């Protein structure tokens, strides 16, 4: 089995879409092995988004990601789960994300794109250790 890390971002919580998003993953067959509503601070976000620190969109991203509670969670499934979760999320820009994906069906705003998912097995391990060090 393999684990990956997701965040239902603050826009998901504000818009009441967390249940629908988690339901898609559960219906697919992935298992939620950890989940918690948390308001994320700038330090934690700096670790999580280390590859984006200093980029033009970074300050707006941190302001958005810390403005209210987010749902951080770990999903488990067969090998390749991280990649399938990314497919189900859709492209980063919701206006370009395919219909049928979470971002494609539920959003229009680039920064406020509803969900994060780890982009490799290595990222998943790194991100799980930041948010759920006891797992």
110: contact with ligand UDP by CB under 6 A: yes
- Are 98 and 104 in contact by the 8 Å Cβ rule? The answer is yes
- CB under 8 Å to 118, separation ≥6 — which residues? 4, 5, 6, 82, 85, 124, 127
- Are 118 and 89 in contact by the 8 Å Cβ rule? The answer is no
CA distance 131 to 52: 18
User: x/- binding map, residues 103-132, to Mg ion, per CB under 5 A?
Assistant: ----------------x-------------
Cα–Cα distances in angstroms (integers) from residue 105 to residues 15, 58, 126, in the given order: 14, 25, 29
With CB under 6 A as the contact rule, the residue among 4, 84, 101, 113 that binds ligand UDP is 113
Closer residue to Mg ion (CB): 51 or 134 = 51
CB of 117 to ligand UDP, least distance (A): 7
108: contact with ligand UDP by CB under 6 A: no
Stretch that binds ligand UDP, among 10-18, 67-75, 110-118, 126-134 (CB under 6 A): 110-118
- Could you list the active site residues? 116
Given the rule CB under 6 A, which residues bind ligand UDP?
52, 57, 61, 92, 110-111, 113, 116, 119
């Amino acid at each position: 089995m393999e684990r990956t890390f997701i965040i239902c971002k603050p826009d998901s919580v504000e818009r009441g879409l967390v249940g629908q998003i988690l339901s898609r993953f559960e219906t697919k067959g992935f298992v939620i092995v950890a989940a918690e509503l948390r308001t994320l601070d700038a330090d934690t976000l700096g670790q999580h988004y280390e590859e984006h620190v200093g980029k033009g969109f970074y300050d707006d991203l941190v302001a958005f990601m810390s403005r209210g509670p987010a749902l951080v969670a770990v999903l488990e499934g067969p090998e390749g789960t991280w990649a399938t979760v990314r497919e189900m999320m859709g492209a980063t820009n919701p206006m370009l994300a395919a219909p049928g994906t979470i971002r494609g069906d539920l959003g229009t705003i680039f920064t406020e794109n509803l969900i994060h998912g780890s982009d490799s097995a290595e990222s998943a391990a790194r991100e799980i250790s930041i948010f759920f060090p006891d797992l």
